[in-house]
C-alpha cells in the first residue's frame, strides 16, 4: 500500500486543529490535517458565539470555524476529509491509517481530536439540540436570561453550570438522579448557597418537552414513580464529557477520565514528537478560545521539535 510521508500531521478539525494548522503553515511545516467525523468540531452544534473575542455582534459558529479552516488553507495547510483509524506511535516516523486504508507517516503529530459531551440519549433531547437543549452553559446560558432552565447531573460540571446559570436566569432546576451530588464539597456548598437553584433529588428526565419554537419543559420521573412536568426554556445536560483519546491510549498517558496529560504549560505528551491541544487534553476550561490557544502552542512546540 502506498505510504505518504509528512512532516507534521494534525488530527482533528476543531479550533485547536485549525489554529495549529495556521501556525504550522506559517512555520513552513507543511501540515496535513485530517478533520475527522465532525469538521468544525463541537462548536458546530451550537448557533451564535458571543464570547469569542473580536466579534462584538457575535459570530455564527459555522462561520467562525469555516473562517479558521479557510485561513489555514490560504496559508498552505493541506486540510483533508478523513478519519484517522489506526495509529502506531511506537515507531519512527509515526504511522497512521486513514479511513481504514490510506497510509500516512509523520515526523511530528498534533492530537486535537476534542471531546464529546455525553447526552442522555433521549430522542426528544436530540430533536431540540440547539433549540433549548445544550451541553454548555457558558456558550448558551446568555440566551436564557431571566428565564427558567434545568440542568441534568450532579457532578462538578453540573454544579458549575447551575451556579453560572443562576446568575443569569430566574430559576435553575437541577435534575439529580440520586439523593446526593457527586460534586466536590466546595461546589455543593455554592449550590446550596444559591437561592434560585432547586434540586430535584432522585429524579430522571423522561422527555424534553417542546414545540416548534423549542424547549418548553421537562417531564421528570422520581424514583418513587411520581411523574411531573417542570416548565423551562433551556435544558442543559452536564453528565460528563468523553475525550476522544481512545485511539492513542496505548501509547499516550491519560488521566483517570481519559484526558491526555500534557507537560504543564506546553503541549508535549509523554512521547517526544507527539503534542496534544484542545479539549482532548483540557478537562477544565473547554472553550473554543482556549482550544485555539493550545493549538497555537502545539504548533510552536512541534516547530521547535522539528527544527532541532
Ligand atoms: P462527573 O462524572 O463527575 O459527574 C457526572 C454527573 O452526571 C454525576 O452526578 C452523575 O450521577 C450524573 N449522570 C451521569 N450519567 C447520567 C445519566 N444518564 N442521567 C442522569 N445523571 C447522570 O462529570 P463532570 O463533568 O461533572 O466532571 C468530570 C471531571 O471533571 C470530574 O473529575 C470533576 O471533578 C472535574 N471537574 C472539575 C471542575 C472544577 O474543579 N471546577 C469543574 C468541572 C469538572 P451519579 O453521581 O449518580 O453517577
Among the options 60, 99, 140, 224, which is catalytic?
Answer: 140
Task: Report CA(157)–ligand 1 centroid distance (Å).
Answer: 6
- Annotated active-site residue 140? The verdict is yes
Mean pLDDT, the chain, integer: 95
What digits encode the pLDDT tens for the residues 145-182?
A: 999 999 999 998 899 999 999 999 999 999 999 999 99
The percentage of the chain sitting over the pLDDT mark of 90, rounded to a whole number, equals 87
Asked if pLDDT for residue 69 goes beyond 90, the answer is: yes
Q: Binning pLDDT at 50, 70 and 90, where does residue 49 land?
A: confident
Q: What is the pLDDT of residue 138?
A: 84
**Ligand 1 close to Cβ of residue 258 (< 6 A):** no
Best probe residue, ligand 1, of 125, 150, 151, 157 (max atoms within 8 Å of C-beta):
157
Among the options 60, 88, 136, 253, which is catalytic?
Answer: 136
Q: What is the pLDDT of residue 1?
A: 63
**Ligand 1 close to Cβ of residue 155 (< 6 A):** yes
What digits encode the pLDDT tens for the residues 187-205?
A: 999 999 999 999 999 999 9
Q: What is the pLDDT of residue 308?
A: 86
Asked if pLDDT for residue 104 goes beyond 80, the answer is: yes
What digits encode the pLDDT tens for the residues 274-305?
A: 999 999 999 888 889 999 999 999 999 999 99
Task: Report CA(217)–ligand 1 centroid distance (Å).
Answer: 23
Strand partners, 214: 211
- Annotated active-site residue 139? The verdict is yes
Asked if pLDDT for residue 68 goes beyond 80, the answer is: yes
**Ligand 1 close to Cβ of residue 158 (< 6 A):** yes
Q: Binning pLDDT at 50, 70 and 90, where does residue 92 land?
A: very high
Q: Which atom of ligand 1 is nearest to the CA of 156?
A: 26
Amino acid at each position: 500500500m502506498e505510504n505518504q510521508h509528512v512532516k507534521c500531521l494534525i488530527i482533528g478539525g476543531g479550533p485547536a486543529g485549525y489554529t495549529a494548522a495556521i501556525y504550522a503553515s506559517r512555520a513552513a511545516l507543511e501540515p496535513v490535517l485530517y478533520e475527522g467525523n465532525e469538521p468544525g468540531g463541537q462548536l458546530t452544534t451550537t448557533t451564535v458565539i458571543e464570547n469569542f473575542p473580536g466579534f462584538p455582534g457575535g459570530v455564527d459558529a459555522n462561520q467562525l470555524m469555516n473562517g479558521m479552516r479557510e485561513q489555514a488553507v490560504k496559508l498552505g495547510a493541506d486540510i483533508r476529509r478523513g478519519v484517522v483509524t489506526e495509529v502506531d506511535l511506537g515507531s519512527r516516523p509515526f504511522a497512521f491509517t486513514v479511513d481504514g486504508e490510506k497510509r500516512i507517516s509523520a515526523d511530528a503529530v498534533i492530537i486535537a481530536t476534542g471531546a464529546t459531551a455525553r447526552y442522555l440519549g433521549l430522542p426528544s433531547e436530540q430533536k431540540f439540540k440547539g433549540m433549548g437543549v445544550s451541553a454548555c452553559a457558558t456558550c448558551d446560558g446568555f440566551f436564557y436570561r431571566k428565564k427558567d432552565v434545568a440542568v441534568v447531573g450532579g457532578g462538578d460540571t453540573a454544579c458549575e453550570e447551575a451556579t453560572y446559570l443562576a446568575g443569569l436566569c430566574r430559576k435553575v432546576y437541577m435534575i439529580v438522579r440520586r439523593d446526593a451530588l457527586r460534586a466536590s464539597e466546595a461546589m455543593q456548598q455554592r449550590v446550596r448557597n444559591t437561592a434560585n437553584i432547586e434540586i430535584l433529588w432522585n429524579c430522571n428526565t423522561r422527555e424534553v418537552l417542546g414545540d416548534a419554537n423549542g424547549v418548553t419543559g421537562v417531564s421528570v420521573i422520581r424514583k418513587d414513580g411520581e411523574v411531573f412536568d417542570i416548565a423551562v426554556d433551556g435544558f442543559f445536560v452536564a453528565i460528563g464529557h468523553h475525550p476522544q483519546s481512545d485511539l492513542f491510549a496505548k501509547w499516550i498517558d491519560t488521566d483517570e477520565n481519559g484526558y491526555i496529560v500534557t507537560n504543564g504549560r506546553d503541549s508535549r505528551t509523554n512521547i517526544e514528537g507527539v503534542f496534544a491541544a484542545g479539549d482532548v487534553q483540557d478537562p477544565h476550561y473547554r472553550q473554543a478560545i482556549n482550544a485555539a490557544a493550545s493549538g497555537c502552542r502545539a504548533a510552536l512546540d512541534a516547530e521547535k521539535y522539528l527544527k532541532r
